[in-house]
Amino acid sequence: MWKSIKKKYAPYLLYLITKFIYATNKKVYHHPKDDKEPFVLCMWHGDLLSQIFNYHHFRKGWVVKALISENRDGEIIAKTAELFNCGAVRGSSSHGASKVLMRALRELKVGNDIAITPDGPRGPRYSIADGVVIISQKSGKNIRCFNAIPSKYWQFNSWDKFVLPKPFGKIDFYISEPFSVKDMELEDAKSLIKTKMLQHSLI
């Protein structure tokens, strides 16, 4: 019974808490010019909450869909994201990965953006999985790195060191210039992405 209650009401509670936190923080955006092209949004798993606000300030009226796992926690995350006008591509990175890849490529082809956490869903923290490189190379779309650094925050003792900003502080939001990993070897591409992602990351 508790699991069904959690599944039903947790997204709404998370939505309200998140809205309150970000409404009470000063927000500073470090954004490049928008080239109006679909892209692959790359964000750390422990920093994903902030990127909903980062994205919607950068692109108003666009559609973004996040790759979200099919487990119970993924269901809560997907429903919470929906409340923030963020869609989902559900699937597993270990089972049926090819189907997830094809769905992501279809979304990019019709002009939507795709968001992915390269170190999710199980880590290790700040690692880069192959998926982000494969999606970018097969779609021909550029990557943008999304980060946020709050002045005050709680950091959970989870594998991803999940960050929740505290109210009444300041949050700096960062988006990189779009970059391509076309024709790069897999490990070289992953190294480049990690370097760019770590430029504005909490250690």
Cα(86)–Cα(181) distance, integer angstroms: 26
pTM for the predicted model, two decimal places: 0.94
Name the phi and psi angles at 75, rounded to 5: -65, -45
Q: Which residues of 149-180 are buried (b: 16+ CB within 10 A; e: fewer)?
A: bbeebeeeeeebbbbebeeeeebbbbbbebee
Whether the pLDDT of residue 73 is over 90: the answer is no
pLDDT at 91: 83
Work out the mean pLDDT of the chain and round it to a whole number: 94
Cα(63)–Cα(60) distance, integer angstroms: 9
Cα(53)–Cα(51) distance, integer angstroms: 5
179 with 196: CB under 8 angstroms? yes
Section 70-97 average pLDDT: 86
Q: Where are the alpha helices (DSSP H) in the chain?
A: 2-23, 48-58, 72-83, 97-109, 130-139, 186-197
135 with 144: CB under 8 angstroms? no
User: How does residue 8 score in pLDDT terms, banded at 50, 70 and 90?
Assistant: confident
pLDDT digits (tens, 9 = 90+) for 147-186: 999 999 999 999 999 999 999 999 999 999 999 999 999 9
pLDDT at 74: 84
